[in-house]
Amino acid sequence: MKPFLPILLGAALSFPPIQAQAQVQADIAALDAATALRPDTGRPKNVILMIGDGMGINSVTAGRIYEGQALGEDGASHRLSFDRFPYTALSRTYSADRFVTDSANGASALMTGYKTINGAIGVDDQVRARDCASATAARVPTLSELARAKGLAIGVVTTAPITDATPAATYAHTPFRGWQSDIDMPAQAVAQGCIDIARQLVEGEATPEVVLGAGLAYLKPEADGGRRKDGRDLVEAWRRRGGASTVVSDLPGLTASTTPRLMGLFSNGALPADADRAPDSATPRLPDMTAAAIRALSQNPEGYLLVVEGAQIDSYHHANDPRRALAAVAEFSQAVDAARRLTDPADTLIIVTADHSHSLVLTAGSDRKAPLLGLAGANGAPNKALDDAPYPTLIYGTGPSPTRPQAVARADESSDADALRSVAVPLSSAGHAGEDVPVYADGPQAYLVRGVIEPTYVFQLIRRALSL
């Protein structure tokens, strides 16, 4: 497994200039490969849906450059693992009530085939925000529930709490994504029969065989350091519900597991940023968890549905922290690579997409050999704005930032990759962006990923591919 990528600041990158003839030859080879490509119309046994949370087109481009530069290559011409997938599309991400979606609707649309309002999960657009009674009437089945009815195994992997919006869309139905534990539930919703997301994980119709990620506190009682006031230990409840099961707490335990049912929640909150991880850390990375999930789920002879989320692309974009967000793109790419290497492309369909975008912008004028995380400029001289101040190569439309001159001065004087970026609209947390997001596919039925589609189309594609 590839280690986490180092951060390159200030140092010149060593790579040969791209020769025109070499590019011509590469283009011809790619065209020949495309000409020879024949759609695989077979039916997959397994489907892996991989969601880069917040991974819009600009994040893919910047993540590609980041990973390439960290490897000492020309970042612009570098390829992420899913750049090599043969089929692509664009997905329109708006929700039932907003131009710009949140993760709840974004992931729910992928998992149910219905767009809903921002903040709701596993329900259609007739739901009312935080209204338990309306959620009961608006409930719609998830891919997991349909797959379980056919005998498939279910897996959920994330770097976020397992009860967060995107993983919750795999198994939960709720009018409000914030009802993660019983401590978060209003009395009226409880009286009307709604239960928290963590209980739905364990007690729902499609309790996953594989649960890997973070957010242990939402499943453990207060007496054990958790957030549950009802005294339930949902980890033990999950263990009791199935057959041969393993609960692990670190990377060695994850690697050693051989059972078909596997749970590992490696932090009370979110997992640490991949950019900050020590090489000898005992906390698994997303590629580690993806590989372990495939090993466990592959023991089911009927096949499986696995949903993998790279959550920290989004969480660090919210903080306007491109270093950690783009390291998360690279980590996600490595997880996609692990999924493809560990499965047979003849029987496993892999779809890579995002639930929404972020307002990251790659500005003009930077030399291709300049560090992506530094100031915009060429030949050693920074670009200047109309106020004669330099500005960074990566900027954000919204989010946390000091005044612009302070942000630029920090980056200019210290080459500090953690300096807050310049933003157009200062906010306490960066908002999502509304442009289309990419979809990549490889394997049986992948040829149906084409054109400009809705995320709900992805649901219908997977449903048809698995004959659900």
Helix axes 322-341, 286-297, angle to 10 degrees: 30
Between the alpha carbon of residue 330 and those of residues 55, 70, 333, 335, 362, the distances in Å are 11, 10, 5, 9, 17
Scanning 298-359, the segments in alpha helix (DSSP H) are: 312-318, 322-341
93 vs 212: CA distance, rounded Å = 26
Asked if 359 is an active-site residue, the reply is no
Q: What pLDDT sits at residue 421?
A: 67
Give the residue from 147, 48, 215, 70 showing the smallest Cα distance to 464: 147
Question: In the numeric block, which tokens belong to residue 412?
Answer: 């200019």
- What's at 392, amino acid-wise? P
Question: In the numeric block, which tokens belong to residue 33?
Answer: 């490969």
Q: What is the DSSP letter of 11?
A: P
Q: What pLDDT sits at residue 415?
A: 43
Residue 239's SS3 state is helix
| H or E stretch covering 65 | helix 57-70
Q: What pLDDT sits at residue 52?
A: 98
Secondary structure string (H, E, C) spanning 102-144:
CHHHHHHHHHHCCCCCCCCECECCCCCCCCHHHHHHHECCCHH
C-alpha angle 53/433/198, rounded to 5°?
35
Q: What pLDDT sits at residue 23?
A: 85
Between the alpha carbon of residue 447 and those of residues 60, 79, 283, 351, 358, the distances in Å are 21, 21, 37, 11, 27
CA dihedral sign, ordered 334, 87, 437, 401: positive
Between the alpha carbon of residue 242 and those of residues 207, 236, 262, 264, 265, the distances in Å are 10, 11, 10, 15, 18
Contacts of 333 by beta carbon, 8 Å cutoff, 6+ apart:
63, 67, 80, 81, 82
407-455 pLDDT tens trace: 444 444 334 555 556 788 989 999 999 999 999 999 999 999 999 999 9
Q: What is the DSSP letter of 81?
A: G
Mean pLDDT of successive 10-residue segments in the chain (468 residues)? 49 55 88 94 98 98 97 95 98 98 98 98 98 97 98 98 98 98 97 97 96 98 97 98 95 98 97 94 98 98 98 96 95 98 98 98 88 86 86 90 50 48 87 98 98 98 98
Taking only Cα atoms into account, the Rg of the chain, rounded to an integer number of angstroms, comes to: 22
231-273 pLDDT tens trace: 999 999 999 998 899 999 999 999 999 999 999 999 999 999 9
> Among the options 81, 103, 108, 144, which is catalytic?
103
Q: What pLDDT sits at residue 5?
A: 57
229 vs 226: CA distance, rounded Å = 9
Q: What pLDDT sits at residue 406?
A: 44
Between the alpha carbon of residue 131 and those of residues 34, 98, 120, 167, the distances in Å are 50, 18, 10, 21
Q: What pLDDT sits at residue 365?
A: 80
Q: What pLDDT sits at residue 411?
A: 44
Q: Are 171 and 121 in contact, with CB atoms under 8 Å apart? A: no
CB atoms closer than 10 angstroms to residue 115? 22
Contacts of 276 by beta carbon, 8 Å cutoff, 6+ apart:
324
Contacts 24+ apart (CB under 8 A), 218-224: 218/161, 218/162, 218/163, 218/180, 218/181, 219/162, 219/265
Q: Are 373 and 394 in contact, with CB atoms under 8 Å apart? A: yes
pTM for this one? Answer: 0.94
| H or E stretch covering 236 | helix 234-241
Secondary structure string (H, E, C) spanning 262-310:
EEEECCCCCCCCHHHCCCCCCCCCHHHHHHHHHHHHCCCCCCEEEEEEE
| H or E stretch covering 34 | helix 20-36
Question: In the numeric block, which tokens belong to residue 11?
Answer: 């140092």
